[in-house]
Amino acid sequence: MKGKSQNKSRSDNISRTEKNGKGKNHQQWLMELRESEKLYRTVADFTYDWEYWLDRNGQLLYVSPSCERITGYKREEFIKKPSLVQEIIVAKDKGIWHEHRFSLEKKIESRDVQFRIHKRNGQICWIEHVCQPVINEKGSFFGFRVSNRDITERKQMEESLRISRSNLNRAQEVAHLGSWYLDLIKNELLWSDEIYRIFGVNLGSAMTYEKFLEIVHPEDREYVDDSWKAALDGKPYDIEHRIIVSGELKWVREKAEIEFNEEGKAVSGIGTVQDITDRKQAEEDSHRLREELMHVSRVAAMGELTAALAHELNQPLAAILSNAQAAQRFLMSEEPDLDEIREIISDIVKDDKRASEVIIRIRALLRRSDFEFTKLNINKVIEEVIPLVSSDSVIKNIALSTELDDKIPLISGDRIQLQQVILNLILNGFEAMMKVNVRSLCIHTTQNDQMFITVSVEDSGVGIEEKNQDHLFKPFFTTKKDGMGMGLAINGAIIEAHGGHLWAKNNPDQGATFCFTLPVCKEHSK
Amino acid sequence: MNESNPTVFIVDDDASVRKSLERLIKSVGFNAETFTSAEEFLSRKPYGGPSCLILDVCMPGLSGIDLHKKLTREEIPIPIIFITGHGDIPMSVKAIKNGAVDFLPKPFDKKELISAINQAIDRDVHTRKLLIEKEEIQHRLNTLTPREFQVLRWVITGMLNKQIAYELGVTEKTIKVHRGRVMQKMQIDSVAELVRLAQKVGIAPPNK
C-alpha cells in the first residue's frame, strides 16, 4: 500500500486527478487510481480515532490502525472477528449497544452513543461511538462509517465536576448557605439548590430580583432594597433580614459582591444566603432567659432585703402617725398653736416623700427591663444603693463605708443593672461576715487609666476558700445553704455586657474583695 | 424640768421618729427628752422623778438591746418600752422576758404608746416606792450590832429563844435581850412584821 509517491505534494496529486477525466491511457489511469487510493488509505490510516466501515451486511470493510491505541487489539483481530467490538463492551453498557444497533436497523441515520469498553490490558475506557451512514451518489446505502473516540479523560472531568458540584450542593445544604449570581443586564437571578430550599421555591424556577423581593418579609423589603441599591453604589452588602416561606418566618443573612465593567457600571452580583433562623431563635431564647434570670435574681436579692426595706418604710410611717396624732391633740386645745401644727404637717409631708422614695427605689430594682445605657457617675449609683442596706448593716453590726474618688469620670451603663450588681456584692459581703467579730465593708471607686474605672467591694469576712476560687462565677455554684448560685454568674454577665470584667480576690489580712471594671465614657476620657 | 412630773426619755437614731414622738408625748402631758444614741443617754445625769425609756432596738453603736442589758447589770431600774422597725417576734419575746414593759413595732398608734407609757410610769413609781422603803429598812438595819443582826436571822426562822440560845451557845436570857433590842431598833412589834421586812431587803435565815 505504501508507494514512492507517498511523499508527493498534495497539489501534484490534485493536478493529476484533474487531468484524469480528459482521456489518459488505461495504464496511466490505473496508476493514478492507485496513487489516489494510496492517498486516501493514508488519510484513513492516520486518523486519530478508531474508525471502521461496516458494509450493509455488518461485515468490516476497513478498520483503522488506531484501534490498537484505543483498545489494545490489532485491526487484524477485529477484521478476523467482527463481534470483538461487542465483546469488549463492559457488561453494564451492553444494553446501550444493543439498543443502538436495534434503532439503526429500524432507521438508517447518523447516531451517536457513549459506552465503556475493557481494553486488552483490563483498563476501562469511555468511547464515544458515532455511526454515519455511507450513501453513494445514487443514494444507495453502503453500510456505516463508524468513529470511536476515547473520551475517558472528558468523562473523568465531567465526573469530578459532578462530584464537586454535588459536594458543594451538599455542603450548602449542611451549612444552610446557598450561593447566587445576578446578571444585572438581563435581570437573571441564578440560585444554587440550597437557596431554592431556603426560600421554598421549586428547584430550577426562573428567578429575578423582583421575585426574590416578594419573598422578603414586607417590613424588611425596603431595607433590603435600599441595602442592595447602596451595594450597587459600592457600599458593602452584608445584611440580615426576614423572609416568609409558606407562611413561616425565617431569618437569612446575605452577603454579596458586585462586579463592575470598565465604565464603572455594575453588571453582576455574586453572593450568599445563609439560613440563620436557628441562630436568631437561640439568640432570642438566651436573651429572654438572661432577662428572666436577672429578674429572678433581683427578686431573690429583694427577698434578702425585705427586713431592711420594711425598716426603711416603717421609720417614716411611724413618724407620720405620731406627728398626725400629736397634731390632733394640739387641735383639741382651745387656742391651737398653729405654727407648731404647720411644722408638724410639713414634717409629715417630708416623711411621706421619704417613704415613697423607698417604694420607687424598690420598684426600680424589681422592674424587668432591657439594658438602658446612659452616662452615669458611678459614685451616685453607689450612693443610691447605700440607703437600701444601711439599716441592714446596723442590725448586723457592720461598719459600712465608702471611699469614692470624686474625680471619677463618667461611664456608660444601665443604672439599675449596675445597682443590682453592687447590691448583690454588698449583701454577699454582709453574709460572709456573719461568722466573724470585726465586721466592716468598704466600697471604693478608682480610675485605673484613661480607659477604665474600678469599683471594689472589700469585706472583712471569712474570705474565699481556695477550692472555690475557680467556680465562684459559674452558674449554680453556691456555698450558701439556700442560695441559688446565680448571683455572681449574673453579676459577671451584667458587667461583661458593659464591657467590663468582674473578679474576686482574698485580702492579705482578712476577708475578700470583689472588683469590677467599667469602661470610661469616650467623650470624657481626655 | 420639774422632777416630780413623769418624764419620758426617747432614744432613737432616726431624727423624724425622735421629733414626732417628742411632740406626741408632750401633747399628752408628759415631759419628753430625746437622745440620738444609747451612749448619749448613758451620759445624762440620773433623773430623780418617775420616768420611762422609749428605746429603738436597732441603732448604730450600742443597740437598744445592749443598753437594756447594761442598765439591768448596773441596777438602774428604768422601765423600757422597745420600739422597732422590724416586726421581729422572737426578739420581742426575749425583750419582755428580760423585763421590758412593752415592745411596739413601728408604726404604732398613740393609744398603744400612751398605754405603754402609763404602765411604765406606774411601774417606775412602784419601783421607786419599793426602793425608798428598802433604803429605810436598810437604814434601820445599819443600826444593829453584828450580834443583834445574827439573832435577827435566827428569829425570822420562827425558832424559840431557848432554841436560838442552844444554837448560839449562850443563855436564853441573853437572846431575849438581843431580840428586844432588834424589835426596838427596827421599830416593829411582831415577828411577822420582822419577817416581812427581812424579805423586802432579802435577808436569808442562817445556814445550819
| Other residues' Cβ atoms within 10 Å of the Cβ of residue A71 | 24
CATH architecture of B143-201: Orthogonal Bundle (1.10)
Q: What is the mean pLDDT of residues A169-190?
A: 90
Question: What cell numbers appear for A244 in the block?
Answer: 416568609
Question: What cell numbers appear for B33 in the block?
Answer: 427628752
In terms of Cα–Cα distance, which of B117, B93, B161 is closest to B24? B117
Chain A CB contacts of B60 under 8 Å are 394
From the candidate CATH numbers 3.30.565.10, 3.30.420.40, 1.20.990.10, 1.10.10.10, the one assigned to the domain spanning A371-526: 3.30.565.10
Contact criterion met (CB below 8 Å) for B85 and A310: yes
**Shortest Cα–Cα distance, B23 to chain A (Å):** 6
For residue range A207-251, what is the model confidence (pLDDT) as tens digits?
Answer: 889 999 999 999 999 999 999 999 988 888 999 999 999 889 999
pLDDT of A321 reads 94
Percent of chain A scoring above 90 in pLDDT: 42
pLDDT band at A437 (very low <50, low <70, confident <90, very high): confident
Q: Give me the torsion for CA of A452, A458, A464, A466, rounded to 10°.
A: 50
Residue A430's alpha-carbon distances to A457, A477, A489, B131, B193, in angstroms, are: 11, 19, 18, 45, 60
Q: What angle do CA A258, A262, A267 make, to 5 degrees?
A: 35
Q: Which of B26, B60, B106 sits opposite A315 (nearest CB)?
A: B106
Return the DSSP state at A77.
H
Q: Please report the sign of the dihedral spanned by the C-alpha atoms of residue B75, residue B81, residue B87, residue B90.
A: positive
pLDDT of A484 reads 52
- Contact (CB<8Å) A315/B59: no
- Contact (CB<8Å) B23/A315: no
Provide the CATH number for the domain formed by B7-132 in this structure. 3.40.50.2300
pLDDT score of A152 more than 90: yes
- Contact (CB<8Å) A325/B87: no
Q: Which of A312, A318, A397 sits opposite B17 (nearest CB)?
A: A318
Higher pLDDT, A477 or B192: B192
- Contact (CB<8Å) A314/B27: no
- Looking at chain A, the domain(s) classified CATH 3.30.565.10 span 371-526
**Nearest residue of B to residue A306, measured between CA atoms:** B86
Chain B CB contacts of A311 under 8 Å are 58, 85-86
Spatial distance between the Cα atoms of A400 and A92, rounded to a whole number of angstroms: 91
pLDDT score of A481 more than 60: no
- Contact (CB<8Å) B58/A311: yes
Instruction: Give residues with Cβ within 8 angstroms of A382, minimum separation 6.
Output: A402, A404, A422, A443, A445, A455
- Residues of A at the B interface, defined by Cβ within 8 angstroms: 307, 310-323, 325-326, 329-330, 340, 344, 347, 350-351, 354, 391, 394-395, 397
Q: Does B21 touch chain A (CB under 8 A)?
A: yes
In terms of Cα–Cα distance, which of A427, A420, A433 is closest to A384? A420
User: What SS3 class is residue A187?
Assistant: coil
| Helix, strand, coil in percent for chain B, rounding step 5 | 55, 10, 35
**Nearest residue of A to residue B84, measured between CA atoms:** A311
How much is the CA Rg of chain A, to the nearest whole Å? 47
Which residue bears the cell 437622745? B35
- Looking at chain A, the domain(s) classified CATH 3.30.450.20 span 4-156, 173-275
Residues of chain B with pLDDT under 50: none
Q: Which of B16, B27, B106 sits opposite A330 (nearest CB)?
A: B27
Q: Which of A330, A354, A391 sits opposite B58 (nearest CB)?
A: A391
pLDDT score of A16 more than 50: no
Q: Which of A314, A347, A395 sits opposite B20 (nearest CB)?
A: A347
For residue range A409-418, what is the model confidence (pLDDT) as tens digits?
Answer: 999 888 888 8
pLDDT score of A12 more than 50: no
E runs forming strands in A248-362: 248-260, 266-275
In terms of Cα–Cα distance, which of B129, B128, B136 is closest to B186? B136
pLDDT of B126 reads 92
pLDDT of A360 reads 76
Spatial distance between the Cα atoms of A29 and A25, rounded to a whole number of angstroms: 6
For residue range A79-116, what is the model confidence (pLDDT) as tens digits?
Answer: 888 889 899 999 999 999 999 988 888 888 888 999 99
Q: Give me the torsion for CA of B175, B181, B186, B191, rounded to 10°.
A: 40
pLDDT score of A11 more than 50: no
Run of H or E residues at A292: helix A277-332
Question: What cell numbers appear for A472 in the block?
Answer: 465562684
In terms of Cα–Cα distance, which of A314, A44, A427 is closest to B83? A314
**Shortest Cα–Cα distance, B138 to chain A (Å):** 43
Residue B159 backbone phi and psi in degrees, to 5? -75, 155
Name the CATH topology of A173-275: Beta-Lactamase (3.30.450)
**Nearest residue of B to residue A326, measured between CA atoms:** B24
* Residue B145 falls in which region: left (phi positive, over 0), alpha (psi -120 to 50) or beta: beta
pLDDT score of A440 more than 90: yes
For residue range A388-423, what is the model confidence (pLDDT) as tens digits?
Answer: 787 778 778 899 999 999 999 999 888 888 888 898
pLDDT of A463 reads 87
Residue B112's alpha-carbon distances to A407, B103, B119, in angstroms, are: 51, 10, 11
Question: What cell numbers appear for A198 in the block?
Answer: 431556603
Residue B78's alpha-carbon distances to A411, B54, B56, B58, B63, in angstroms, are: 55, 10, 15, 19, 17
**Shortest Cα–Cα distance, A355 to chain B (Å):** 12
Spatial distance between the Cα atoms of A488 and A480, rounded to a whole number of angstroms: 12
Q: Which of A313, A351, A394 sits opposite B16 (nearest CB)?
A: A351
Tell me how long chain A is: 526
pLDDT of A306 reads 64
| Other residues' Cβ atoms within 10 Å of the Cβ of residue A242 | 18
Return the DSSP state at B160.
-
Per DSSP, chain B holds a count of helices (H) and strands (E) of 9, 5
Query: Which residues face A515 on adjacent strands?
Result: A456, A503
Contact criterion met (CB below 8 Å) for A499 and A522: no
Return the DSSP state at B170.
S
**Nearest residue of B to residue A355, measured between CA atoms:** B16
E runs forming strands in A151-247: 177-183, 188-191, 237-245
Query: Which residues face A272 on adjacent strands?
Result: A179, A255
**Shortest Cα–Cα distance, A341 to chain B (Å):** 10
How much is the CA Rg of chain B, to the nearest whole Å? 23
Please provide the average confidence, as pLDDT, over all residues in chain A.
84
pLDDT of A6 reads 47
Put the strands of the sheet holding A60-63 in their side by side order. Answer: A60-63, A50-54, A141-150, A124-135, A111-118
For residue range A125-135, what is the model confidence (pLDDT) as tens digits?
Answer: 999 999 999 88
Spatial distance between the Cα atoms of B193 and A178, rounded to a whole number of angstroms: 113
pLDDT band at A479 (very low <50, low <70, confident <90, very high): low
Q: Does B106 touch chain A (CB under 8 A)?
A: yes
In terms of Cα–Cα distance, which of A267, A248, A247, A246 is closest to A258? A267
- Contact (CB<8Å) B86/A310: yes
pLDDT of A367 reads 60
Name the CATH topology of A4-156: Beta-Lactamase (3.30.450)
Contact criterion met (CB below 8 Å) for A235 and A257: no
For residue range A276-311, what is the model confidence (pLDDT) as tens digits?
Answer: 998 888 877 776 766 666 666 666 666 655 655 677
